[in-house]
Structure 1
Amino acid sequence: MPFALAHRTSVSPTITRRDAIKVAIAAPFAVKPASASLVDERQAQRCFERISDSLVSLSFNDDALVKRSGFVWYVDANDCWIATSSSGASKGTLKSLSTIAFANGGSAVMDSTCEYVSDANAGVAFVRVPIGLLKMRDAGKPRAAAIGTSGDAVVGRACFACACGPDGEPSLASGIVSGLNRKIPVVGGLMMKGLIQTDATVSESSSGGALCDGEGRVIGLCVVPGSQGREPNGVNFAVPIDTVRFVAERL
């Protein structure tokens, strides 16, 4: 079709001021055409299926409403080791840890046979729970998370923050790696450095959860800055899993 003819046959309808107001009011409620999702649903589902049974929710004696997330780091015939965050805006500390609830239905009540170790500078902590304390119902033995490497993290790559919500149920928030080698202040006046930045939501209850790649491999441990009542704002952080591994070997 010739250019001139195309423009001559295109007639714009007359829109009155009243019509324009109606359109503006109705716009937020209009059904938009379907478009391609920015999230790869298959990646998200695969990631969640692989990591969800390894997630845990930690509760504290000094505040029943305070919860933190973690994930199963290692399991042998005697003990279950759980990785979590030593930082965050939580009133609770690992010393006041009372119970651990596994996302797949198990639980454990802490006692003197348990052990915790932490590195406040790295923002990483581990909890050792004797297998005999675990009440796993029909869930069987806890399943250790698949540990990847943060060396593969590049800006723009998809990632998923996987943790337990305030109700203890596993959840997934999608995003991308939006920065590397970031630093944030944490409770106690310390500064954590070398962090992965992501726009995947990380709340206080999901602090200590797993930042995963599309295959469900853990590439980071989610942490929050040390400001009370912080709301996730699209700039969130995780300790690189290679740092977590280094802390585990040193502790």
Structure 2
Amino acid sequence: MNRRYAIIAAAFAALLLVVTAVKVQHAPWTTPSARAVEQRGPLSEAERATIDIFERVSPSVVQVAVRSAATPVMGEEGQGGASGTGFVWDRDGHLVTNNHVVANGGEIAVRFASGEVARVDLIGTAPNYDLAVLRIRSVRELPPQVALGSSTDLKVGQSAFAIGNPFGLDQSMTSGIISALKRRLPTHGGREIANVIQTDAAINPGNSGGPLLDSAGRLIGVTTAIISPSGSNAGIGFAVPVDVVNRIVPELIRNGRVPTPGIGIVAASEDVSTRLGVQGVIVVRTAPGSPAEQAGIRGVNLSTGTVGDIITAVEGKPVRRLSDLTDALEQAGAGKTVRLTVKRDSDTRDINVGIIDIERS
């Protein structure tokens, strides 16, 4: 009897194994074939527009690599090299990038989106604007020049797109908005760039010198700096406005440098003006033989510590800080004459002062 039960139990167990195997074989999670691809609808209008911007502009964006004498590999960061971004400016082979990308000297090469590498020459630099111009030595066929926009009619909130090589990852595109306008950015030249564009489009090390574009794919700025405690993107990036770029780059192509317009004064810092409750530029002293001295502008009386002249306007436009004055002088240009409004004690008068290139005076 026990043997009979054992045979029945063994037969039942075998049947159970067969049934279980069949169920497992047909279970949905064991299907060996690939899943069917779900068809998507058409791309949205915004997506198509962004794709179009990248496809049109990215071929004109290059990776810039600089090798110093001590660097064994071109652009190997951390070993004396530097890398950044640049873009095609014209059909003559000129490229625009940041001055700080190429400032340390050395051999420079660029890599195009196609992968082609070309040697370039440094044509000119403008440290006061953090801009530099390169020229390709030889290349078979150039990508198109990036279309120019304007920075005068930009609005906070409009779309902005950056293409560059963050951390050496070439042909990277980021997007965001224009977060603020009319920022002021100190440069390595010791001055300030006026009307700088602030954007939250991700900008990281390696993006420097790349194009900032509007929704039409036009150049509206050249990315130049970020504010970040960690050194990576924190949503605050800056770009030199294209109207400044379009004024400076042709000068660099012609002469290799741009004049530094000035009138020959040393001005007090904004902190001093703020503490004294003064709105305008306090003249500390004038350079001997300078246009300011010749015009009779007076600096601080060092023996008594009393304030001398305060420049409050240029051509009737208010001057509240030094960058307002330098911006007005740069727009007028060296060799021109401007009308300054100067306050001395309780008297205010207008005087004409010539502008010179202070680096060559």
Report the secondary structure of 2:196's partner residue: strand
**Pairs aligned (count):** 198
Q: 2 CA distance for matches of 1:230 and 1:192?
A: 21
User: Are the counterparts in 1 of residues 129 and 187 from structure 2 also a CA contact under 8 Å?
Assistant: no
User: Are the counterparts in 2 of residues 101 and 168 from structure 1 also a CA contact under 8 Å?
Assistant: no
The one-character-per-residue Cα deviations of 1:12-31 (angstroms, maximum 9, x if unpaired) are: xxxxxxxxxxxxxxxxxxxx
Distance change in 2, residues 1:70/1:57 (3 Å): same
Aligned to 2:248: 247
The one of 51, 56, 67 equivalent to 1:61 is: 67
Deviation at 1:93, TM superposition (A): 2.4
Aligned to 1:199: 200
Aligned to 2:91: 75
Aligned to 1:121: 128
Q: 2 CA distance for matches of 1:241 and 1:115?
A: 21
The one-character-per-residue Cα deviations of 1:208-248 (angstroms, maximum 9, x if unpaired) are: 00000112111110001598972221011101111100002
Q: Are 2:150 and 1:161 equivalent residues in the alignment? A: no
**Percent pairwise identity:** 32
Query: Which structure 2 residues correspond to residues 25-40 of structure 1 after superposition, within 5 A?
Result: 40=46
Aligned to 2:142: 141
Unpaired runs of 5+ in structure 1?
1-38
Distance change in 2, residues 1:165/1:97 (3 Å): farther
Distance change in 2, residues 1:208/1:228 (3 Å): farther
The one-character-per-residue Cα deviations of 1:125-146 (angstroms, maximum 9, x if unpaired) are: 111223xx22x5xxx3332111
Aligned to 2:176: 175
Q: 1 CA distance for matches of 2:105 and 2:227?
A: 19
Report the secondary structure of 2:53's partner residue: helix
Deviation at 1:169, TM superposition (A): 2.1
Aligned to 1:84: 97
Q: Which amino acid in structure 2 is aligned with residue 119 of structure 1?
A: A
The one of 87, 102, 106 equivalent to 2:116 is: 106
Mean Cα deviation higher: 239-248 or 226-235: 226-235
Higher relative contact order (CA 8 A, sep 6+): 1
Q: 1 CA distance for matches of 2:236 and 2:65?
A: 26
Query: Which structure 2 residues correspond to residues 41-56 of structure 1 after superposition, within 5 A?
Result: 41-56=47-62
User: Are the counterparts in 2 of residues 185 and 226 from structure 1 also a CA contact under 8 Å?
Assistant: no
Distance change in 2, residues 1:178/1:212 (3 Å): same
Unpaired runs of 5+ in structure 2?
1-44, 253-361
Distance change in 2, residues 1:190/1:96 (3 Å): farther
Q: 2 CA distance for matches of 1:141 and 1:153?
A: 30
The one-character-per-residue Cα deviations of 1:119-162 (angstroms, maximum 9, x if unpaired) are: 111111111223xx22x5xxx33321112111231100001011
Distance change in 2, residues 1:204/1:170 (3 Å): same
Mean Cα deviation higher: 58-67 or 39-48: 39-48
The one-character-per-residue Cα deviations of 1:86-144 (angstroms, maximum 9, x if unpaired) are: 13xx6x5262242111123222124xxx23211111111111223xx22x5xxx33321
Aligned residues: CA RMSD: 2.4
Q: 1 CA distance for matches of 2:116 and 2:146?
A: 16
